[in-house]
Amino acid sequence: MTPFAYDRAGSSADAIRLAQATAATHYLGGGTNLVDLMREGVATPDRLVDVTGLSAAIEPTPDGLRIDAAVRNTALASDPRVRRDYPLLARAIVAGASAQIRNMATVGGNLLQRTRCAYFYDDAAACNKRVPGAGCDAVDGFNRIHAILGASPACVATHPSDMAVAMAALNAVVTIDGPDGSRDVPLTDFHRLPGGTPEIETVLARGELITAVTLPPLGFGARSTYRKVRDRASYAFALVSVAAAVDVQGGTVADVRLALGGVAHKPWRAFAAEAALRGQPATAASFRAAAEAELADAVPLRDNGFKIELAKRTIVAVLEELTGEAA
């Protein structure tokens, strides 16, 4: 691990000011991912600005439920309002990590965690995300866990967060503060697809800091869930995950929210499936047609073609669970 300076911020403004010191300054939340990257030599900040002392409130506002970025994952998953109105979010967080990690990890840090692609962590491998222009060994390497949607020849890595998938389904809005002021970005626009610059993972500019995430009201949010398909039950990363909420009126899908994890470089909002479902009968046939529409553009790699059918079946199973179609 390379030497680094350490500062503890007393406010968002203080954190942003401290972050201007060098281009290699990183904000430090729970450290559950960043510290690992520093130990491996993948991340080499020369200064850390600790933001864990900033506000960690969860409170209703006219725009919905505001969650400060320093809120710990455990606190968010156990909040009664989240469990009542957005149960898919609570379930996603609990599925994401052990209790020890959830007790440390913050909401802001969860959104910013890096891929778990083995080639990204291996400094002997070619990785455009770690060293721009180096190439991507995963394309022709062992790529069982990699992306089937939205990838590029430069990068086929997936985003590891479970929480972010649920928030994408909920139309969450990320509040960002920085040297040029504050702005709000829909979570679905916050993470970037790789294109030719996979090292640029979000829309954050230098020195910008996530300060909060707001969940807009969702009248049918109580009818929601999160399902994670993984190789083992003990906190493995998702092969495929589905966050879903559905509103059925008179046997017809009036509205629906769907997002997928484990399939793309970012939490993947399933807009095509949603459009295919609205106004259709709440049946297994409709669910399968919607899943087919969403996965129509999927591009498998050598080792992960199974993810396409797995994603389709998981979408159908989750929607059947929520509508009682499986009963």
- Nearest Cα to 143, choosing from 268, 262, 267? 262
Choice among 19-23, 200-204, 256-260, 300-304 with the minimum mean pLDDT = 19-23
Is 325 a residue whose pLDDT tops 90? no
Q: Which residues pair with 121 in a beta bridge?
A: none
Is 327 a residue whose pLDDT tops 60? no
Distance of CA 98 to the CA centre of its chain: 17
d(CA 163, CA 166): 5
Confidence of residue 2 (pLDDT cuts 50, 70, 90): confident
Question: Taking a C-beta distance cutoff of 8 angstroms, is the pair 245, 266 a contact?
Answer: no
Hey, what are 25's tokens?
Answer: 């300054």
Q: Which ranges of the chain does DSSP label H, i.e. alpha helix? A: 12-19, 34-40, 73-78, 80-85, 87-96, 99-104, 107-111, 118-121, 163-169, 187-190, 271-277, 284-294, 306-323
Q: Which residues pair with 252 in a beta bridge?
A: 249, 281
Instruction: Return the number of other C-beta atoms located less than 10 Å from residue 133's C-beta.
Output: 9
Per DSSP, the three-state class of 165 is helix
d(CA 258, CA 273): 8
Angle 27-31-33 from CA coordinates, rounded to 5°: 105
Is 21 a residue whose pLDDT tops 90? no
CATH code of the domain in which 26 resides:
3.30.43.10
- When pLDDT is averaged across residues 155-183 and rounded to a whole number, the result is 97
**Residues in contact with 280: Cβ distance below 8 Å, sequence separation at least 6, in sequence order:** 252, 253, 286, 289, 290
- When pLDDT is averaged across residues 87-102 and rounded to a whole number, the result is 95
* pLDDT cut 70: percent of the chain above it: 99
Residue 48 lies in a domain: yes
Q: Tokens 């995963």 label which residue?
A: 138
Hey, what are 28's tokens?
Answer: 């430090």
pLDDT tens digits, one per residue of 46-62: 999 999 999 999 999 99
Residue 167 lies in a domain: no
Choice among 105-114, 231-240, 315-324 with the minimum mean pLDDT = 231-240
Q: What is the pLDDT of residue 59?
A: 97
CATH code of the domain in which 285 resides:
3.30.390.50
- When pLDDT is averaged across residues 69-74 and rounded to a whole number, the result is 97
* pLDDT cut 90: percent of the chain above it: 94
Q: What are phi and psi of 63, to 5 degrees?
A: -95, -5
What is the total count of domains within the chain?
2
pLDDT tens digits, one per residue of 214-270: 999 999 999 999 999 999 887 889 999 999 999 999 999 999 999 999 999 999 999
Residue 33 lies in a domain: yes
Is 326 a residue whose pLDDT tops 80? no
Residue 28 lies in a domain: yes
Query: Helix 284-294 vs helix 306-323: angle between axes, to the nearest 10 degrees?
Result: 140
Question: Taking a C-beta distance cutoff of 8 angstroms, is the pair 222, 89 a contact?
Answer: no
Q: Which amino acid is at 8?
A: R
Residue 107 lies in a domain: no
Residue 191 lies in a domain: no
Residue 45 lies in a domain: yes
Q: What is the pLDDT of residue 234?
A: 79
Instruction: Return the number of other C-beta atoms located less than 10 Å from residue 41's C-beta.
Output: 12
Determine the structural domain holding residue 236 and report its residue range: 224-323
Residue 86 lies in a domain: no
Q: What are phi and psi of 223, to 5 degrees?
A: -95, 75
Hey, what are 71's tokens?
Answer: 């809120």
pLDDT tens digits, one per residue of 206-221: 999 999 999 999 999 9
What average pLDDT is seen over the chain? 96
Hey, what are 98's tokens?
Answer: 């052990």
Q: Please give the radius of gyration of the chain, using alpha carbons only, rounded to the nearest integer.
A: 19
